[in-house]
A and B are shown apart, each in its own frame.
Chain A
Amino acid sequence: GDSVTQMEGPVTLSEEAFLTINCTYTATGYPSLFWYVQYPGEGLQLLLKATKADDKGSNKGFEATYRKETTSFHLEKGSVQVSDSAVYFCALSDSWGKLQFGAGTQVVVTP
């Protein structure tokens, strides 16, 4: 079945550092891909998404490109802030519209 694999955390980095969180997927068909973020004590929020190959999703300085050839959807941000500390989930939407989530990657940004 469909699945998502993302790098384990926690990822600890200093403010203004470059962030990359790797995400790869296996799927039949052509899923849509998402990054969700969960800030401490809050629910999940959609960060960005891409619906087809080569699409780039972007939001709040984060970017991810749907790479069909490498089945990847890596999340990147050029300069992180303390407020970016959260758990980030990569997910795909199967043909039924159900989301399959990766295990989540905790990101800790220190001042």
Chain B
Amino acid sequence: GAVVSQHPSRVICKSGTSVKIECRSLDFQATTMFWYRQFPKQSLMLMATSNEGSKATYEQGVEKDKFLINHASLTLSTLTVTSAHPEDSSFYICSAREYYNSPLHFGNGTRLTVT
């Protein structure tokens, strides 16, 4: 079945540095990718919707300058957390779909810890 690969699975960085998380669709072309953030014991919060070749659409309250999303190809989207702070520590999950009504496939998530 369709697979979405997310890398890295875990990353620890120092406050003030930037971290890039990759989301790849391995056996299908993803016209749309979504980025979620999951707080401990809480639900997934949609951060942004990314369509290939266009700017990401951010949800209300999500800082677009802090969370840079790029979807430059049909198989790759990246989320860059810029100038990371400890409060950015969280579990980030991407999902991807081929077409509008196609099933969503999720990556295994990235645990970001900012020290």
Q: Can you name 5 A-B residue pairings with CB atoms under 8 Å?
A: A43-B107, A43-B109, A44-B106, A97-B32, A101-B43
Residue A59 CB within 8 A of the other chain? no
Contact A45 B106 (CB under 8 A): yes
**Complex partner residue of A97 from B43, B101, B108, CB under 8 angstroms:** B101
**Complex partner residue of B43 from A43, A98, A102, CB under 8 angstroms:** A102
Contact A46 B104 (CB under 8 A): yes
Given A89-B44, A104-B43: A97 in contact with B97 (beta carbons within 8 A):
yes
Bound: A46/B96 CA distance, A: 13
Which residues from B are CB-within-8-Å of A100? 46
Which of A's residues lie within 8 Å of B, judged by CB? 36, 42-46, 89, 96-104
Bound: A46/B42 CA distance, A: 18
Q: Which residue of B lies closest to A45 (CB)?
A: B106
Bound: A52/B92 CA distance, A: 30
Contact A43 B101 (CB under 8 A): no
Given contacts A89-B43, A101-B44, 17 further A-B contacts (CB under 8 A): A43-B6, A43-B108, A44-B44, A44-B93, A44-B106, A89-B44, A97-B32, A97-B100, A97-B101, A98-B34, A98-B46, A99-B46, A99-B104, A100-B46, A102-B43, A103-B43, A104-B41
Which of B's residues lie within 8 Å of A, judged by CB? 6, 32, 34, 41-44, 46, 49, 93, 95, 97, 100-101, 103-104, 106-109
Bound: A104/B39 CA distance, A: 11
**Which 4 pairs show the lowest CB-CB distances between chains A and B?**
A43-B108, A44-B106, A103-B43, A101-B43
Bound: A102/B38 CA distance, A: 12
Bound: A42/B111 CA distance, A: 12
Which residues from B are CB-within-8-Å of A45? 106
Which residues from A are CB-within-8-Å of B103? 46
- B85 vs chain A, min Cβ distance (A): 25
Bound: A96/B57 CA distance, A: 12
Contact A42 B108 (CB under 8 A): yes
Bound: A36/B104 CA distance, A: 11
- B56 vs chain A, min Cβ distance (A): 13
